[in-house]
Amino acid sequence: MFSLGAIGNLTRAIGAIFCLALSNPTHASAQTADDAYYKGKTVRIVVGYGPGGGYDIYARMIAPYLAKALGATVVVENQPGAGGITALNRIMTAPPDGLQMMLVNGLGAAFAQLTEQQGVRFDLAKLSHLGTVSASPWVWLVGPNATIDTPQKALEAKRRFMWSASGPIDGLSDGAAFSCEALSLDCGIVLGYPGSNEAALAVAKGEMDMIYVSDTSANNYVKAGQNKAVATMGRVRSRFFPDTPTIFEAVKLSPDRAQIFDFHSTAENLGRILVAPPGLPPERLAALRDAVKTALTDPALVAEGEKTQRYVDFIGAEETRKATVSVVADPTPAQKKRMMEIIAKAEKK
């Protein structure tokens, strides 16, 4: 309960802030100007994957609500290439005009930077962070007729498994690489699919054995009958697959193997983040962040996401920035070296 003294202090503080606002019309008019800046303009949401995948679907679901919040036209632009790295490089050097943003696979981007992947020219810590759309666990899928449909069966099979992916670090490939390392599976990872949609279809057709994908995308593939869920690759079960065990429940893991999964799932928790080019003027960045928050907390969007099971669990811009920076900056040199060794193994197969 607040004391009378605390309430008095709070009242005086609010009064001081109000007076400061009245005496500083420059900030208010700058904010208004930046709100008006977007009226009638076109804003692009860049997706680093082909049409039809999870990121593309999320971006197209968000676009109308962001357009409403900004008073602008919002279009989705697919720029597939290197698991999203190509598009993110472009965002890093794009004009800081506030007219483009990117829906980024936080996990894939963080790992690409941490493991110093060839071609990476972005720094997640320096981008303008706008917020997190959602963060979901990832799932191991196989084809609808696969006989090896549990982690234990995979361990006992003593054969090579082929995983489908798009880029060297895209969530699909690094998730497969870390899973194979932690479980000592003999794996090959095939890159080059435009996105998760095509990669999952390759598994459904029997061209590939397995895929590692976010649970929101996995839910669509499983509901369509083209894939089966094997395990959720973290410590918490997916809300889409409550009867599917976590990898920690499915097999007995040594502390070292459990640490590999835990390390990877920490980065997975970055989820789908919205970023803009670095160097945006503060007032324009504030206006863009406000619009993103308004769009992603719109009850109509939240309801649409629930209806389509593309859940929107908004996390604010500053919290997103702190989480991203911690994942990129906190790993020790030994951890970074281990990651690079795991990824290198996958790329050689």
Q: Do domains 41-135+271-329 and 138-268 have the same CATH topology?
A: yes
Which one-letter amino acid corresponds to residue 211?
I
Please name which of 74, 93, 82, 80 lies closest in space to residue 48, comparing C-alpha atoms: 80
In this structure, what DSSP letter does residue 125 have?
A: G
pLDDT at 123: 96
pLDDT at 108: 83
Q: Is the dihedral of CA 247, 249, 254, 255 positive or negative?
A: positive
Domains of the chain, by residue range, sit at 1-37, 41-135+271-329, 138-268
pLDDT at 221: 96
pLDDT at 331: 82
Please name which of 289, 232, 246, 247 lies closest in space to residue 69, comparing C-alpha atoms: 289
pLDDT at 195: 86
CB contact set of 38 (below 8 Å; sequence gap of 6+): 70, 71, 72, 98, 287, 291
pLDDT at 64: 98
Question: Which residue ranges in the chain fall short of pLDDT 50?
Answer: 1-32
In this structure, what DSSP letter does residue 254 have?
A: -
Pairwise CA distance, residues 133 & 274, whole Å: 7
**Residue 140 phi/psi, 5° resolution?**
-90, 120
pLDDT at 349: 55
CATH architecture of 41-135+271-329: 3-Layer(aba) Sandwich (3.40)
Phi/psi region, residue 142 (left: phi>0; alpha: psi -120 to 50; beta: rest), is beta
* Widest distance between CA atoms in the chain: 74
pTM for the predicted model, two decimal places: 0.71
pLDDT at 44: 98
CATH homologous superfamily of 138-268 equals Periplasmic binding protein-like II (3.40.190.10)
pLDDT at 30: 39
